[in-house]
Amino acid sequence: MKRGKVWLVGAGPSDPGLLTLKAKKALEEAEVVLYDSLVGPGVLAVIPEGVRLIDVGKRAGRAHMSQERINKTLLEEALKGCKVVRLKGGDPFLFGRGGEELELLAEHGIPFEIVPGVTSAIAVPAYAGIPVTHRDFCSSVHIVAGRKKDSDRPDVDFEALARLKGTLVFLMGAGALEYICSSLISAGMDAATPAAVLEKGASARQRRVVATLASLPEAAARAELKTPAIIVVGEVCGLAERFHWAEDRPLGGARVVVTRPRELASRLSETLRGMGAEVVELPAIKTVEIRDNAGLDRALENLSDYDWIVFTSQAGVGVFFDRLLRSKKDARSLSGIRLAAIGGATEKALAERGVIADCVPEKYDSSSLGRALAAAARPGERLLIPRARIGSRELTRELDAAGLVYDDIPVYDTQYAAPGAVDVGGLLAEREGLYAAFTSASTVRGFAAMAGGADRSRVKAVCIGEQTAAEAARLGMEVYVSDDITVDSLAEKIAELHRASKER
């Protein structure tokens, strides 16, 4: 009987950019993923569609599933022959109970690998502008569990910690903040020592409170900081005011949901991340090729009958050229045929396949494409339109008005996608409003389906095109429209809105 394998993977602290290449590869190969609550939504969105997901819900001592049950589940799934990823926030061997999870696997001879993760003990202070070591202040850093197994208080020698003269980082200690601070002072540490509580570090919702060791509990309570949070004690905390950087970026502090199909999301996501946003790729729709497609097959057999091929999306370009190759033809078969593209992204998709669009409207929408074709096509010419099964009537209305002859052939279906491990309702319930980037009315509807009954009124829907915006408004979102019908303009509109929100 084939035995599976377990990868114990550290997801890092929230920011998917801190996920290691090895961790990403393990997730791409996984058949089953057991994940904790501390794994950020951007990281969860990386998990491919079709993977079986098990939410074990561990956070600050609370769990949907006991540690013993988690251990047994890992064993059971591996014994079925599955590739299993145990996905944990931060690093699996730093207070992550990773060693306990391996014991049962080792006892039964299950193969496993450890994929270390970026620990929050270093990354979260860094995102807050706090270097945990600095030659002018300290030469050591000490990471301490802020609670023990059966108590909300740490089981540590505070006198020894007070003598260390290094930076102290307490993980899982937010509930014992007052006890930790008073114990360090009682052990001889100067009450004026700089200290900080860092909430939701390395995410768009990160906050920091920096005070003295004596005043930190009151300052944190006044700010109403919540878990997950870490405590940092040491002179280096005083550098945060000079070294903070994450929130200073154009989209620092912004969380943006990108709803484009996964294969089309990368450029927009990279642009937004480059501006400092926390991006959650949450494909609201997916395009599925119509495999049994006699109409397209006939068109490919008789390409010489057409004078124009009209592409209304990148997905249509992909399906058409894939089918062309499967029919034992290539771009040479298009000799003498002119090509039209609805916009810059579709034009680029054609260029990547070695062909150049002859007609691209100045305004990237269906009506403009139809009018551009009416002006460019000669009487008697025939057009082929390979596009979505539910395509815009605006295009064909313009072609009909111009008396043009065309074959409008569906080549793919647009389907709503499942949210996977991402808790969409939880995203919508966050303290601050959520930006959502929409490039079509179907992505709006798909996102609303994922949200279920959650309140959508605080979603800042930033849309390409008036039709997309109208759908978002109909579904109760706060609507904004990009100045141009491009992903760059979409990103700039989000930055403009976020800049205005920070100035208020």
Catalytic positions, please? 36, 58
First-to-last alpha carbon distance for the chain, in angstroms, is: 63
The 10 Å CB-count burial string (b at 16+, else e) for 419-448 is: bbbbebeebbeeeebbbbbbbbbbbbbbbb
Look up residue 140 and give its DSSP letter: -
Residue 398 is encoded by which pair of tokens?
């313009």
Residue 193 is encoded by which pair of tokens?
């020592």
Cα dihedral sign for 148, 40, 8, 62?
positive
7: left (phi over 0), alpha (psi -120 to 50) or beta: beta
Nearest C-alpha neighbor of 369 from the set 321, 285, 309: 309
Q: What is the C-alpha R_g of the chain?
A: 27
Helix (H, G, I), strand (E, B) or coil at 187: coil
User: Beta-carbon neighbour count of residue 294 at 10 Å?
Assistant: 8
Nearest C-alpha neighbor of 65 from the set 54, 77, 56: 56
Q: What is the DSSP string of 410-437?
A: EEEEEEEPP-TT--HHHHHTSSS-EEEE
Helix (H, G, I), strand (E, B) or coil at 466: helix
Cα 342 to Cα 1, 96, 145, 303, 485: the distances in Å are 54, 51, 57, 21, 10
Backbone phi and psi for residue 258, each to the nearest 5 degrees, phi listed first: -100, 120
Name residues whose C-beta falls within 8 Å of residue 367's C-beta, 6 or more positions apart in sequence: 394, 395, 397, 398
Residue 497 is encoded by which pair of tokens?
């809105």
User: Edge-to-edge strand order for the sheet containing 338-341?
Assistant: 285-289, 405-416, 382-388, 308-311, 338-341
Instruction: Calculate ∠ Cα 429-434-436, nearest 5°.
Output: 130
Length of the chain: 504
The four Cα atoms 147, 150, 152, 156 give a dihedral, to 10 degrees, of -40
